[in-house]
Amino acid sequence: MKKGEARREQILRVAEALFYANGYEQTSVQDILDEIGISKGGFYHHFESKLDLLDAICQQRAEESARVAREAADSVRGDPPAELNALLSSGGFLQADALDYISLLLRVAWREDGALMREKLKQRTLTLLKPAMDEIIAEGVQTGCFTLPRPSLAGSLILRLSAQFTDEAAEILAGPGDPPSKLSDIYAKLELYRHTVERMLNAPYGSITLYDMKHLAKVCEGLA
């Protein structure tokens, strides 16, 4: 790794740790500079602003999440519904082992002025996961698990539905209420999205889960 690339990675690592420890709003660019021991010129050589820095952190996270999702789908290769469920369940940012990151995004991206960041996250996730989703749908059609017109268009639509569910789940998690009531609201929405995708693919009843509710329960409890 070149010196400039190493410095950029160092800024990302330190900034993410400070965001988690102190909060995004409470962490200034100067705090990051002091922690690393570099000048403002050294920072702005790599990032235009603190928001640009957070954007880069999200990009790294999205790429890592997509890699994990593809590996999860590959682990159940030969069962298209299971591959689809694994891809979506592992490919979103609502992961129980990333509660600090989820909390950070809920505070920053899911507020009124965070709409642009939310859209960037959605688009990155769609771009990274679409090839794998298209492959799964094609396999499902070939094996008779899925029956639908224009299967080449279905992957993007399913990923956008998944992103919309994530949006709504995040809004619930960021809002008031206790974990049981939040989980109940999330489950109600998940059932509707699950049913919609299952009917779209004409998949066997109950074969599409999208997300593991036990997993989402851990996220609710962990954030509480």
Q: What is the pLDDT of residues 147-201, one digit of tens each?
A: 999 999 999 999 999 989 988 988 888 888 888 899 999 999 999 999 999 999 9
Cα 169 to chain centroid distance, Å, stands at 12
pLDDT score, position 146:
96
Q: Is the pLDDT of residue 4 over 80?
A: no
Q: Give residue 113's pLDDT band: very low, low, confident or very high (50, 70, 90).
A: low
Full-model pTM: 0.83
Q: Is the pLDDT of residue 221 over 80?
A: yes
C-alpha closest to that of 91 among 116, 67, 107:
67
Cα–Cα distance list, 56 to 120, 187, 224 (Å): 11, 31, 27
Q: What whole-number distance in Å separates Cα of residue 82 and Cα of residue 206? A: 11
Q: Is the pLDDT of residue 128 over 90?
A: yes
Question: Do 194 and 210 meet the contact criterion of CB atoms below 8 Å apart?
Answer: yes
| Average pLDDT score over the chain | 88
Q: Is the pLDDT of residue 33 over 90?
A: yes
Q: Is the pLDDT of residue 218 over 90?
A: no
* Residue 58: φ, ψ to 5°: -60, -40
pLDDT score, position 120:
79
Please state the rounded mean pLDDT for residues 97-121: 76
**Residue that is written with structure tokens 């954030």 in the block:** 223
Q: Give residue 112's pLDDT band: very low, low, confident or very high (50, 70, 90).
A: low
Q: What stretches of 92-150 show up as alpha helix (H) in DSSP?
A: 99-108, 115-143
pLDDT score, position 1:
62
Q: What whole-number distance in Å separates Cα of residue 126 and Cα of residue 66? A: 10
3-state DSSP call for residue 197?
helix
pLDDT score, position 141:
96
Contacts 24+ apart (CB under 8 A), 169-173: 169/94, 169/216, 170/94, 170/105, 170/106, 170/109, 170/110, 171/110, 173/102, 173/106, 173/219, 173/220, 173/223
Question: Do 24 and 86 meet the contact criterion of CB atoms below 8 Å apart?
Answer: no
Q: What stretches of 24-114 show up as alpha helix (H) in DSSP?
A: 29-36, 40-44, 50-74, 80-91, 99-108
pLDDT score, position 55:
86
Cα–Cα distance list, 201 to 90, 172, 216 (Å): 20, 28, 24
Q: Is the pLDDT of residue 133 over 90?
A: yes
Under 8 Å CB-to-CB from 201, ≥6 apart: which residues? Answer: 137, 140, 145, 146, 147, 148, 154, 208
pLDDT tens-digit series, residues 10-30: 999 999 888 888 878 888 999
